[in-house]
């Protein structure tokens, strides 16, 4: 006979925790929901101030030395904040853990740009988040829990398409950038977690800040009540993915207007980028962008690839796969490409490129000689932020997988840049993707 204890997954000789909270947290819960509370005394945070000292650190920690000083909403780590909480609950990480930042300083000291001090030019990342020891060391010495939101490192990377380009002679082994005949490439990498200045984000989207705060509160399940109760706090660390910058060639060239710059802005597509699914052009275009960026760097310029965590047009993989099913079972033609997505997600695309140029401002990019992208949304967002694009480079036709013609042709018809064929609505009806006839009955 199975006992209730066994049914609940507990063996007879193990007892459930009787007071698990007390093993991690000895104090009562402290809420900082409203301004003016006795436990609320935030350190001033002046977004866009002329110096990092005047601006102040971004503080979200609920550490006992910091909780009353918090001047922002959310938690560090984006979506990974949840894993941090799980590690604490499981007893693997002390609740009051403080990092040791010895030897973590950036491998390249990016020069301060005028945009770092402009409250409306950079609104979705902390311009001073890459070197908190230098900028905010005095707070760390006082026991205040300041955390970085940007990290700068260097690495060597190997991509199969780049190795192939070396073997075929399209890329040369120069010893500085491409440093082996296997196609190993030196790169500077910058990881960025999102930090939103809410008044600036609202202005960028052309919406009222109160509406933005309410929407963020309501549609994160009410997880961040301070969005609506603490209007004195203007900074929010959203629980979303960030971005990574890959710089080929000396990083100091990126902000030098006297050298050419090639840029690929790429939004995450796990299925194609990692597992090379052929239903879209993501992996081929990413590989092409990396190769062209390396070529530009080898010619004395700078090559930059920026990878944003916006899986499935920021709709997520679950929605993306549901769309795949709808497409393949309903007749996969280019004229219905966007309709399939709208039927399930309600919109064509939620990547909203309005915030994307912030990283370009942070890097000091003032013009783009070769934009390795066909996206009209990316192009328009960059140009609207005052960064001219001199040339747009579409993916070469021979790199487009057969089954991805549905996607790319539909996007060209919708406004994507091309130097090749354009399509009418009637043309799109004849652009068909691979069916599932060999896998399952397509009639449902």
DSSP 85-126: HHHHHTTSS-TT-----TT-S-SS-PPP-GGGG-TTT--SS-
**Is residue 215 domain-shared with residue 358, that is, in the same domain?**
no
- Range list of β-strands (E), 259-373: 261-267, 302-308, 370-371
How far apart are the C-alpha atoms of 311 and 192, rounded to whole Å? 16
The pLDDT, as a whole number, for residue 28 is: 87
Report if residue 14 sits inside a domain: no
420 and 301 within one domain: yes
> Would you say residue 219 lies in a domain?
yes
Residues 181-200 have pLDDT tens digits of 999 999 999 999 999 999 99
Same domain, 314 and 356: yes
DSSP 8-state symbol, 396: P
Domain count, the chain: 2
Digit-coded pLDDT (tens) for 29-81: 999 999 989 889 999 999 999 999 999 999 999 999 999 999 999 999 999 99
Examine the fold and report which residue of 174, 206, 237 is the final residue of a domain before the chain moves on: 237
* DSSP character string of 186-211: EEEEEEE---EEHHHHHHHHT--HHH
Asked if residue 9 belongs to a domain, the reply is no
Residues 174 and 83 occupy one common structural domain = no
Strand spans (E) along 213-281: 235-237, 243-248, 261-267
Q: pTM for this one?
A: 0.94
Contacts with 362 (C-beta within 8 Å, 6 or more apart), sequence order: 110, 113, 115, 116, 122, 125, 127
Name the catalytic one among 126, 145, 267, 349: 349
Query: 168 and 134, same structural domain?
Result: no
User: Does residue 5 belong to any structural domain of this protein?
Assistant: no
Measured distance CA(223)–CA(145) in Å, rounded:
22
CA 214, 219, 225, 227 dihedral sign is negative
Range of the domain at 132: 21-143+195-237
Identify the bridge partners of residue 74 per DSSP, sorted by sequence position.
237
**Are the CB atoms for 239 and 74 separated by under 8 Å?**
yes
Statement to judge: residues 251 and 348 lie in one domain: yes
Q: Tens of pLDDT along 224-273?
A: 999 999 999 999 999 999 999 999 999 999 999 999 999 999 999 999 99
Catalytic residue among 147, 253, 264, 351: 351
208 and 188 housed in the same domain: no
For residue 11, being part of any structural domain is answered with no
Is residue 231 domain-resident? yes
Domain boundary among 185, 219, 237: 237
Q: Is 278 a catalytic residue?
A: no
- Give yes or no: residues 68 and 187 share one domain: no
Query: Of 237, 255, 270, at which residue does a domain stop?
Result: 237
> In Å, how far are 21, 272, 277, 313, 328 from 323, measured between CA atoms?
42, 15, 15, 12, 9
Q: Give the pLDDT band of residue 386 (cuts 50, 70, 90).
A: very high
The reply to whether 225 and 82 lie within a common domain is yes
Would you call 351 a catalytic residue per the annotation?
yes
Please answer whether residues 400 and 433 qualify as being in contact, where contact means their C-beta atoms are separated by less than 8 angstroms: no
The residue whose two tokens read 């929901």 is 33
Write the burial class of residue 161 (CB in 10 Å: 0-12 exposed, 13-18 middle, 19+ buried): middle
In this model, does residue 174 exceed pLDDT 50? Answer: yes
The predicted pLDDT at position 437 comes to 76
Residues 229 and 342 both lie in one domain: no
Specify the pLDDT at position 5.
46
Q: Check which CATH number belongs to the domain holding 354 and give it.
A: 3.40.50.10990
**253 and 125 within one domain:** no
Same domain, 221 and 297: no
Kindly state whether residue 444 falls inside one of the protein's structural domains. no
Determine the pLDDT at residue 36.
Answer: 87
CB 267 within 8 A of CB 308: yes
- Give domain status of residue 283, yes or no: yes
């Amino acid at each position: 006979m199975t006992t209730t204890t066994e049914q609940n997954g507990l063996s007879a000789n193990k007892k459930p925790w009787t007071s698990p909270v007390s093993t991690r947290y000895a104090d009562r819960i402290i809420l900082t929901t409203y301004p003016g509370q006795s436990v609320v005394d935030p350190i001033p945070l002046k977004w866009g101030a002329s110096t990092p000292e005047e601006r102040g650190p971004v503080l979200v920690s609920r550490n006992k030395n910091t909780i009353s000083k918090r001047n922002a909403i959310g938690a560090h780590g984006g979506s990974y904040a949840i894993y941090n909480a799980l590690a604490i609950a499981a007893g693997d990480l002390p609740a009051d853990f403080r990092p040791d930042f010895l030897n973590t300083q950036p491998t390249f000291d990016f020069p301060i740009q005028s945009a770092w001090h402009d409250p409306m030019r950079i609104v979705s990342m902390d311009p001073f988040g890459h070197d908190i020891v230098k900028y905010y060391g005095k707070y760390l010495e006082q026991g205040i829990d300041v955390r970085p939101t940007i990290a700068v490192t260097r690495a060597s990377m190997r991509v199969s398409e780049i190795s192939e380009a070396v073997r075929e002679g399209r890329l040369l082994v120069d010893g500085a950038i491409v440093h082996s005949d296997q196609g190993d490439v030196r790169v500077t990498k910058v990881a960025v977690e999102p930090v939103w200045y809410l008044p600036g984000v609202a202005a960028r989207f052309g919406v009222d800040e109160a509406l933005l705060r309410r929407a963020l509160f309501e549609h994160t399940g009410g997880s961040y009540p301070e969005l609506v109760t603490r209007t004195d706090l203007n900074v929010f660390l959203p629980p979303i993915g960030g971005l990574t910058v890959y710089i080929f060639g000396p990083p100091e060239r990126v902000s030098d207007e006297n050298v050419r710059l090639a840029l690929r802005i790429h939004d995450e597509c796990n299925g194609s980028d990692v597992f090379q699914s052929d239903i879209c052009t993501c992996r081929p275009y990413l590989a092409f962008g990396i190769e062209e960026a390396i070529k530009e760097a080898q010619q004395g310029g700078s090559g930059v690839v920026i990878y944003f965590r916006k899986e499935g047009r920021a709709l997520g993989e679950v929605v993306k796969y549901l769309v795949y099913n709808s497409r393949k079972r309903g007749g996969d033609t280019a004229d219905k490409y966007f309709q399939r997505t709208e039927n399930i997600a309600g919109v064509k695309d939620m990547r909203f490129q309005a915030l994307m140029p912030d990283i370009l401002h942070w890097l000091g990019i003032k013009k783009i000689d070769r934009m390795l992208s066909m996206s009209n949304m990316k192009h328009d967002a960059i140009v609207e932020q005052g960064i001219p694009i001199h040339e747009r480079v579409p993916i070469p036709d021979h790199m487009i997988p057969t089954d991805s013609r549905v996607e790319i042709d539909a996007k060209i018809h919708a406004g994507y840049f091309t130097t090749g064929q354009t399509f009418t609505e009637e043309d799109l009806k004849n652009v068909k993707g691979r069916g599932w006839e060999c896998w399952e009955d397509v009639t449902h």
